[in-house]
Structures are given as structure tokens and as C-alpha cells.
Amino acid sequence: MDETETITIVATETAQSKSLTRGGLPEAAIRQTVEKAISVEALSASFNNFINGLRKVLNVEQASVGDLVLDEITFSVEIGANGEFKLLGTGVSANASSSLAFTLRRKKDL
């Protein structure tokens, strides 16, 4: 029996409230915690897609300012409930207690 390997992800999803405010508008979105098993294969594909997108964004032959050369880039990522990798923007890292940090370093010339 060939069982698919999975990783369980605990994340939050946004659910719209069905109740209305006094003005007739829906209440603010509600964040709810969900737990989902994602196949390792799907998670790997999502990660590779994310990294390939970053490669396109960071496609710089030599990032430099005067005598200084970019040597390292660090960014934070979270994994969504469906296994999608998301780049965390400013101010979000304090709220994302389980974020991943990636550091890319320039290859040293040998």
C-alpha cells in the first residue's frame, strides 16, 4: 500500500462573518485556526515555485553601491493553510510567531 507522505500545517484562514453591522455591511473578516495535512510533494512544488519567483526578483548580476557589494539577503516567509509560501511584509513578522527565515548569501569566489 503506497501512502502519500504528508506534513500537517496549522495556520489561520480568513472567514467572512455572515452577520451584518448596523449599517448593513458585513462585519470584519474573522481569522480562524485550521489544521490541514498537505502532501510533501505538493509542499515541495509550492516551495520550488516560491523560490523560482524569488530568483526572478533577485536576478541581479552584481548589486553594488560604490565600493559596497550586496552579500546577504534575509527575508521571512510563512506557510499558508493550503501549503502556499508567502513573503512577509513590514510589521507582520511580530504577529507571525512561526515564520521561517531564509538567508541567501553571495557565493565566495574561490
Structural domain contains residue 110: no
Given a contact cutoff of 8 angstroms between Cβ atoms, the answer to whether 73 and 96 are in contact is: no
pLDDT of 42 higher than 90:
yes
pLDDT given for residue 27 in this prediction: 60
Question: Looking at residue 107, what DSSP letter applies?
Answer: P
Element (H, E) at 86: strand 85-87
Counting the structural domains of the chain, the total is 1
Average pLDDT, the chain: 78
User: From the CB of residue 32, how many other CB atoms can be counted at a distance below 10 Å?
Assistant: 11
pLDDT of residue 36: 92
Cα 33 to Cα 12: distance, rounded to the nearest angstrom: 4
Contact predicate 106/78, CB 8 Å = no
Mean pLDDT score, 106-110: 66
| Span 62-103, pLDDT tens digits | 667 788 777 788 888 888 888 999 888 876 544 555 678 888
pLDDT top residue among 7 and 15 = 7
pTM for this structure?
0.67
Domain that holds residue 32: 6-105
